[in-house]
Structure 1
Amino acid sequence: MQANRPLSPHLQIYRWYLSMVMSIMNRVTGIALSVGLVLLAWWLVALASGPEAFDTVHSLAGSWFGLLVLFGFSAAWAYHLLSGIRHLAWDAGYGFDKHVTHKVGIVVLGGTAALTILVWVAVLIAA
């Protein structure tokens, strides 16, 4: 016997909007940060293992692909940080109006770009 009603909501019946995409991206960046911490642990183990192991990891991290991964990790960190602050404001009961969530979402995206660039400028100046 088949029911004549939807059994559960599906993404096809929802309209995509900025806050929904940002919520999904918050989860994606959390997973990316977890993977990045595994890579950090690999780097620390290589550091403790001796010069040969460290040189291997260091050369990989200094390659174009390694720098791309590090850039992605820093962008994920910046986004997750700013999105987490946004969620803290929501937990305190602020910013639930539709126009406010949209504006704050734009601020989070712009802040992510600015913070990522700021981190990389600082790293490149220090290097």
Structure 2
Amino acid sequence: MASRNPARPLSPHLQIWRWGPHMLVSILHRVTGSGMATVGSLLLVWWLAALAGGAESYATFQGVFTTDSGALNVFGVIIGVGLTLSLFQHMMSGIRHLFLDTGAGFELKTNKTFAMLTMVASVTLTAVFWLYLGMK
């Protein structure tokens, strides 16, 4: 049996790593994917149940997300912007991973720049999308 040698180095863990944008983007990719799947599935099932339940049931569903005038209420905006931001963040991170899969962008500075660009692009695309929706 192997004896435990106290001089042996320990495996690195999160406390010794310096956090960087690439780590945040990696975590955000997982969180946004899980969040979109969970929230999106729940909303889809609720919407389908409201459709099947008839006009009154569907009006209740619509009332949660819109006001009487048809404009989005605060809850609708939070859910909509959250899902849109998640979609764009997940998409930008996926595009970044496509480049990494080709073997490009592993240099520290390039990796950090691309990671930051995914966050900037996702926020920008979300803002542009909601501004476009607001103009209609």
**Normalised by the shorter chain, which TM-score bucket?**
0.7 to 0.9
Which whole-Å deviations, capped at 9, do the CAs of 1:19-56 have from their partners, x for residues lacking one? Answer: 01110111111111112222133223312321111111
SS in 1 for 2:15: helix
Identity of matched residues, %: 37
59, 62, 80: which is aligned to 1:55? Answer: 59
- CA–CA separation in structure 1 for the residues paired with 2:82 and 2:30: 15
1:42 maps to 46
Q: What is the SS of the residue equivalent to 1:96? A: coil
Shift of 1:114: 1.2
Does the alignment pair 1:75 with 2:102? no
Superposition RMSD in Å: 1.9
Q: Equivalents in 1 of 2:13, 2:45: separation in Å?
A: 38
Q: How does 1:101-116 map to 2 (within 5 A)?
A: 101-116=111-126
Normalized against structure 2, the TM-score is what? 0.82
Alpha carbons of structure 1 residues 3 and 33: separation in structure 2 relative to 1, 3 Å: farther
Partners of 1:9 and 1:44 in 2: how far apart? 48
Could you say which residue in structure 2 is the equivalent of 1:15?
Answer: 18
Give 1 or 2: higher helix fraction.
1
Query: Runs of 4 or more off by more than 4 Å in structure 1?
Result: 5-8
Q: Which of 20, 33, 55 in structure 1 is aligned with 2:36?
A: 33
Report the Cα offset of residue 122 of structure 1: 2.1
